[in-house]
Amino acid sequence: MNKRFFGTDGIRGKVGSDPMTADFAMRLASAAAQVLVPRGGTVVIGKDTRLSGYMFESALEAGFVAAGADVLLIGPLPTPGIARLTQEFEADLGVVISASHNVYSDNGIKFFDRCGSKLTDEIELKIEEHLKNPAITLESQSLGKAKRIDTARIRYQDFCAQSMPDGVDLDGMKVVFDGANGAGYKVGPRTLANLRAEVIPIGCSPNGMNINDGCGSMEPALLQMTVPGVRADVGVALDGDGDRLIMVDENGELIDGDQLLYILATARQRQGRLTGPVVGTVMSNLGLEHALKAQNIEFRRVNVGDRYVLEALKESGGILGGETSGHMIVLDKTTTGDGLICALQVLAIMKETDKSLSELAAGMRKYPQIMVNVQSKNGVDPAASVEIQAAVAVAESELADTGRVVLRASGTEAVIRVMVEGEDHDQVVAIANRLASVVAEAAA
């Protein structure tokens, strides 16, 4: 059975259009409460800095309270912070109001279970079944209560700081922090400063409409200019909800999720703390796979989505996984992707090894990788199209074993992503453009 509302990372869409309306949010809360929250149970609700967060917060609160659940309102805090506080408060459910890296006019709703993990497909399907019915309202004596938690930010800051190795701080390190004008705009700079770093914040002045706008992990150009401009040691960029991390080295060069995963994995191996395979996705750069193999580190690929990375880690006993986009999971420190905690792990490695970020990343050679997003009006399945598969077969024959082709429908947008990588940049570009043309024709 296919899900109607839940995508790869919760429910997401344009505010004011189905399903991102106040009425839907209240029905969603009611449905989730009936599946996951017993009478008298507790729900934690947090959000990013989008203007529409106020509306969805109120609608969700109403839906949960009407269904008999108590609600703890956290306010703006990174998505992984909500996962952590769901555990800390021993709540039955954690709810995040965020559209992550999307523009401010979008918003979304995602859930964590009582263990701080994302819901399974089976649970999401059960919630969707209840969405067919109106929201419930219990009698007065059975209604839940709501209160705001003023200590949430401090609790999460302390948790992040405790992820650092014993005796290691950031004294003497100059860090430019880009909060994407999002959920990490306060906790990021304050956590770094508490660890004695000299912090230069950018993208830390949210106004409800500037989240991810010209800043953050999706648009790091300003960070790339600022780091060498102020002679900083490193730059750290989160996305709007704080679960993605991109870094910038001392020269202003981007260090993406694949390179960060390489740095974390090789450091854990040196320390004798690496267990299980390192898990990436079908979009992870081939250079990561080859670099880890050279270090005798097993690497596995799964479908795109940090939930699938997490599932594979749990099944295999691994502790490190992530995506090129910067969704990084460090299971020996936290339960879900956490941009700030991952950044702290990399900064700690820099301090312990006395190496720059560029030196740490030098062991991995990135293969040229071209991504073309093709609008899909008819929802064509690339795997079911004879024309597309024939073009893919020709491309793979040209690349042989020196490259890869991946076509997949996005879980958050109406596009098909065409990715080609290989040793020769010009060849990769030519093949990607040719494939994109074939896909565009089939998707028109």
Q: Where are the domains of the chain?
A: 11-150, 156-361, 369-443
Which residue stretches of 109-186 are H helix? 121-130, 152-161
- The pTM assigned to this predicted structure is 0.90
Higher pLDDT, 383 or 80: 80
Which one of 52, 100, 284, 325 is the catalytic residue? 100
pLDDT tens column, 158-213: 999 999 999 999 999 999 999 999 999 999 999 999 999 999 999 999 999 999 99
What would the two tokens of residue 153 be?
């930010």
For domain 11-150, give its CATH number from 1.10.10.10, 3.40.50.2300, 3.30.420.40, 3.40.120.10: 3.40.120.10
pLDDT tens column, 83-138: 999 999 999 999 999 999 999 999 999 999 999 988 999 999 999 999 999 999 99
Residue 133 exposed, middle or buried by CB count within 10 Å (0-12, 13-18, 19+): exposed
What would the two tokens of residue 148 be?
């705001």
Among the listed residues 128, 134, 123, 145, the one whose alpha carbon sits nearest the alpha carbon of residue 68: 145
Per CATH, the number for 156-361 is 3.40.120.10
Which residue stretches of 103-252 are H helix? 121-130, 152-161, 187-194, 221-229
Tell me the residue type at 172: G
Q: Does 440 have pLDDT greater than 80?
A: yes
Residue 149 has a pLDDT of 97
H or E stretch covering 430:
helix 425-443
pLDDT tens column, 320-335: 999 999 999 999 999 8
Q: Does 378 have pLDDT greater than 80?
A: no
What would the two tokens of residue 299 be?
């690497």
What would the two tokens of residue 293 be?
């193999």
Strand, helix or coil for residue 302? strand
Q: Is 117 known to be catalytic?
A: no
Q: Are strands 146-148 and 403-409 parallel, antiparallel or unpaired?
A: unpaired
Q: Does 393 have pLDDT greater than 70?
A: yes
CA–CA gap between residue 106 and residue 211 (Å, rounded): 11
User: Do the Cβ atoms of 160 and 187 come closer than 8 Å?
Assistant: yes
Chain mean pLDDT for the chain: 95
Q: How far is CA 189 from CA 186, 198, 320, in A?
A: 6, 9, 25
Q: Does 411 have pLDDT greater than 80?
A: no
Residue 202 has a pLDDT of 98
Strand, helix or coil for residue 227? helix
Q: What percent of the chain has a predicted confidence (pLDDT) above 90?
A: 89
Tell me the residue type at 155: R
* Range scoring the smallest mean pLDDT among 27-31, 81-85, 398-402: 398-402
Residue found by looking up tokens 């449905």 in the block:
31
Beta strands in 249-349 (DSSP E): 254-255, 278-281, 299-302, 320-322, 328-330
Among the listed residues 433, 349, 350, the one whose alpha carbon sits nearest the alpha carbon of residue 395: 433
| Confidence band of 1 (pLDDT split at 50, 70, 90) | low
Residue 409 has a pLDDT of 83
Q: How far is CA 241 from CA 71, 301, 340, 406, 443, in A?
A: 21, 25, 11, 27, 32
| Confidence band of 412 (pLDDT split at 50, 70, 90) | low
Q: Does 292 have pLDDT greater than 70?
A: yes
Residue found by looking up tokens 């190795």 in the block:
165
Residue 381 has a pLDDT of 86
The contacts of residue 122 (CB under 8 Å, 6+ apart) are none
Superfamily of chain region 369-443: Alpha-D-phosphohexomutase, C-terminal domain (3.30.310.50)
Residue 6 has a pLDDT of 94
From edge to edge, which strands make up the β-sheet containing 245-248?
198-202, 174-178, 234-238, 245-248, 254-255
Q: What percent of the chain has a predicted confidence (pLDDT) above 70?
A: 99
**Same topology for domains 156-361 and 369-443, yes or no?**
no
| Confidence band of 50 (pLDDT split at 50, 70, 90) | very high
Q: Does 249 have pLDDT greater than 90?
A: yes
